[in-house]
Amino acid sequence: MKTLLPLIALLPTFVFAEIEYTGSAAVEQRYFFQDALYPQQERANLSVYFAPEVYTSFNDGNDSILFKGFYRLDQQDGERTHGDIREFKWTHSGDEWEVQTGIGKVFWGQTESLHLVDIINQTDAIEAIDGEDKLGQPMVTFSLFKDWGNTTVFVLPYFRERTFSGNDGRFRAALPVDTDNPIFESEDEEKNLDWAIRWQHTLGDWEVGLSYFDGTSREPDFVLTSNELLEPSLRPFYPLVQQAGIDVLALLGGWTIKFEGVQRKIMDQDINAFVGGFEYSFVGLFDSAYDINLLMEYQYDDRDNASNVITQNDLMMGSRLVLNDVDGTEILFGLVQDLDYSNVRSGFIEASSRINDNWKWRVDAWLFSSDEPVEPSYMLRRDDYAQLSLEYYF
């Protein structure tokens, strides 16, 4: 009893709000329309994932802990069978400021077809070819929320390597990527201390963001070499990069203008890239509740002969149809045309709708047309596919 009393006295300070367990899981079936380029690859692939989420807050809601896990099991590709801690962070909020510590996920930018400015999190490229899935990034951040904008300073003590398809997976180069032997420019390798700062503000109908990053590039180059078995392979090379970025969104009349631009310094080379375009909305089409948004974005990168840059001089045109129905049905489709090679283009469609409170279906399809061996999309020329997903939320 004597030992218990002080414990009980301490208890109230450790009282957590209730713990919330939520998350999602899905079954995904992919079907590839053409025979594969490489004998190890299959025409069909079944895959499942599980993404649990745990959240609790304490100290009157001024502190919170969030965990988001992810695990995928893939039928064909052993590399795609992988797990990750997407987020596991402690947030402490003050008046007009906050500190976050742990593994986090951050998004910067405004454009739809390409995310140039967004650099904090590594792409979980093996997940989907749109590059929107990200790996959890260890970080400490300090944010200030003021009349003159929101400013966040990031300290990033550990680097995450990009994921790549294995030999049995689709969407790969002719040679396997030797992810076990990456090369870093930094002597500290993945322990290089990266840092970044971002300022974002709303000025009437304008959203403006400025950012600076100094650290290891999330985007690797590849070095042709041979692995332990003396087979040729590609080793990812992660150089150091200093990147200054700007992102803007403006609401002008019926138009939404979007722009992102970056200047990067990599290996004493200056690189400029931008993506910009517009979205135009037709609301309540033909007296219905339907909305149609037309999107057009132009992508430019001044690297002339970089083999790993898909988005050099390309035009994306797309349309998003929003049914505004009870099931939240949306259909997005589009085309990306390479303006250097008229025979290089890709088309995509994404559609989704709710079945009930817990279930949702989704269809994604990509078609690639690329007869140009010098373009990186050439390696995807036989990877046209459609995927049906059944998602469960809990």
The distance of closest approach from Cβ of residue 194 to another protein in the complex, given in angstroms and rounded to an integer, is 19
Taking alpha carbons only, the member of 96, 114, 315, 115 closest to residue 211 is 115
Residue whose CB is less far from another protein, 39 or 61: 61
What backbone torsions phi and psi does residue 5 show, to the nearest 5 degrees?
-55, -50
CB under 8 Å, gap of 24 or more: what pairs does 359-367 form? Answer: 359/390, 359/391, 359/392, 359/393, 360/390, 360/391, 360/393, 361/388, 361/389, 361/390, 361/391, 362/387, 362/388, 362/389, 362/391, 363/387, 363/388, 363/389, 364/128, 364/389, 366/129, 367/33
The distance of closest approach from Cβ of residue 288 to another protein in the complex, given in angstroms and rounded to an integer, is 10
Residue whose CB is less far from another protein, 150 or 313: 150
Q: How many CB atoms lie within 10 A of CB 142?
A: 15
The distance of closest approach from Cβ of residue 89 to another protein in the complex, given in angstroms and rounded to an integer, is 10
Residue whose CB is less far from another protein, 76 or 121: 121
Sorted by sequence, the CB contacts under 8 Å of residue 324 that are 6+ apart come out as 289, 290, 291
342 SS3 class: coil
Tokens standing for 393? 């939320």
Quote helix, strand, coil % in the chain, to nearest 5. Answer: 5, 55, 40
Residue whose CB is less far from another protein, 132 or 371: 132
The distance of closest approach from Cβ of residue 371 to another protein in the complex, given in angstroms and rounded to an integer, is 33
The distance of closest approach from Cβ of residue 245 to another protein in the complex, given in angstroms and rounded to an integer, is 16
Residue whose CB is less far from another protein, 51 or 234: 51
CB 345 within 8 A of CB 338: yes
Sheet with 183-184, strands from edge to edge, namely 183-184, 232-238, 221-226
Q: How many residues does the chain have?
A: 394
Residue whose CB is less far from another protein, 257 or 339: 257
> DSSP letter at 380?
G
Largest CA distance in the chain: 82
Residue whose CB is less far from another protein, 23 or 347: 23
The distance of closest approach from Cβ of residue 360 to another protein in the complex, given in angstroms and rounded to an integer, is 5
Cα gap 257→259, rounded to integer Å = 7
Taking alpha carbons only, the member of 186, 160, 181 closest to residue 234 is 181
The distance of closest approach from Cβ of residue 295 to another protein in the complex, given in angstroms and rounded to an integer, is 13
The distance of closest approach from Cβ of residue 339 to another protein in the complex, given in angstroms and rounded to an integer, is 28
Residue whose CB is less far from another protein, 27 or 251: 251
The distance of closest approach from Cβ of residue 49 to another protein in the complex, given in angstroms and rounded to an integer, is 13
Residue whose CB is less far from another protein, 128 or 271: 128
Tokens standing for 161? 């390597």
Residue whose CB is less far from another protein, 63 or 185: 63
The distance of closest approach from Cβ of residue 134 to another protein in the complex, given in angstroms and rounded to an integer, is 8
Tokens standing for 127? 């997940």
The distance of closest approach from Cβ of residue 166 to another protein in the complex, given in angstroms and rounded to an integer, is 26
What backbone torsions phi and psi does residue 355 show, to the nearest 5 degrees?
-95, -45
Residue whose CB is less far from another protein, 354 or 381: 354
Residues forming a β-bridge with 321: 292, 331
Q: Using CB under 8 A as the criterion, which residues of the chain lie in contact with another protein when the complex forms?
A: 20, 22, 24, 55, 57, 64, 91, 93, 95-96, 98, 105-107, 132, 143, 145, 150, 152, 200, 202, 207, 249, 251, 254, 256, 281, 283-284, 289, 291, 324-328, 354, 357-358, 360, 391, 393-394
147 SS3 class: coil
